[in-house]
């Protein structure tokens, strides 16, 4: 287990080779995900982030919905490669689908008209922070994850299948599971091009 925040931040990587053998009971994983989202900050403490957590067959069902939508738009001759890729994602143990509740956003816009233009932006920021919080919390438990975006392709299917409120807007999908193979090396751009420090 990493000893401090930066060690944990380095441990968190995009892991594509995931399996179903989680190192914790399902309920502990669910609690970890929920706690990470609850502790994430949001503009005006609006808590606009929502999540659908899928395990087992429900996770597999998500990937079948993606497959059927992609079958409609991917050329038949290349669909087998797409389908193989989806098999890889479905091999993971579970999914977290991240939503932002648009009722919260419009409610804030009405309440604080001066910031109206900012609330949709801050909602997106909140979602990104919540996603990173979950990614780190899973990494800390030795659970690998990758981030995917099959929205808006699957939005209606997801809404219908899991009875998701109409105001929840799907933003991202995190696939998680046991780590079958580690991430590869990661390249970093030059600090000098990235940071300006004045002191």
Our CA angle for 99, 105, 109, nearest 5°, is 170
From the CB of 132, what's the least distance to ligand FMN, in Å?
8
> Nearest distance from residue 10's CB to ligand FMN, in Å?
9
Regarding 125 and contact with ligand FMN (CB under 6 A), the answer is: no
Judged by CB under 6 A, the chain residues 3 through 32 that form the site for ligand FMN are: 13-14
Report the length, in residues, of the chain: 199
Alpha-carbon distance of 117 to 106, in angstroms, equals 10
Strand partners, 137: none
**Of the candidates 38, 125, 149, 160, which one interacts with ligand FMN according to CB under 6 A?**
149
Per rule CB under 6 A, is residue 148 in the interface with ligand FMN?
yes
DSSP 14: B
CA 56 – CA 20 distance, rounded (Å)? 8
Distance in Å, CB of 148 to ligand FMN, minimum: 5
Convert residues 155-194 into a mask of x (bound to ligand FMN by CB under 6 A) and - (unbound).
----------------------------x--x--------
Cα angle: 182, vertex 186, 197; to 5 degrees: 140
1 three-state secondary structure: coil
Provide the minimum distance between the beta carbon of 199 and ligand FMN in the complex, in angstroms, as a whole number: 28
Range 89-104 burial, b when 16+ CB lie within 10 A, else e: bbbbbbbbbbbbbbeb
Name which of 14 and 39 has its Cβ closer to ligand FMN.
14
Binding string to ligand FMN for residues 35 to 74, with x set by CB under 6 A, is what? ----------------------------------------
Between 13 and 20, CB nearer to ligand FMN: 13
Q: Dihedral through CA 126, CA 130, CA 133, CA 137, nearest 10?
A: 170
């Amino acid at each position: 287990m990493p000893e401090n925040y930066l060690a944990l931040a380095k441990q968190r990587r995009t892991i594509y080779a995931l399996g179903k053998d989680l190192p914790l009971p399902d309920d502990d994983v669910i609690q970890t995900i929920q706690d990470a989202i609850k502790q994430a900050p949001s503009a005006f403490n609006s808590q606009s982030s929502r999540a659908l957590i899928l395990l087992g067959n429900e996770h597999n069902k998500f990937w079948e919905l993606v497959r059927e939508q992609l079958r409609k738009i991917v050329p038949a001759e290349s669909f087998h490669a797409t389908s193989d890729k989806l098999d890889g994602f479905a091999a993971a143990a579970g999914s977290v689908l991240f939503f932002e509740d648009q009722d919260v956003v419009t409610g804030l816009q009405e309440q604080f008209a001066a910031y109206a233009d900012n609330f949709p932006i801050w909602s997106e920021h909140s979602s990104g922070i919540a996603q990173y919080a979950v990614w780190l919390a899973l990494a800390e438990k030795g659970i690998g994850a990758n981030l995917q975006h099959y929205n808006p392709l699957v939005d209606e299917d997801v809404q219908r299948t899991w009875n998701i409120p109409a105001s929840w807007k799907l933003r991202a999908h995190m696939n998680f599971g046991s780590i079958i193979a580690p991430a590869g090396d990661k390249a970093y751009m030059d600090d000098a091009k990235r940071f300006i420090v004045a002191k």
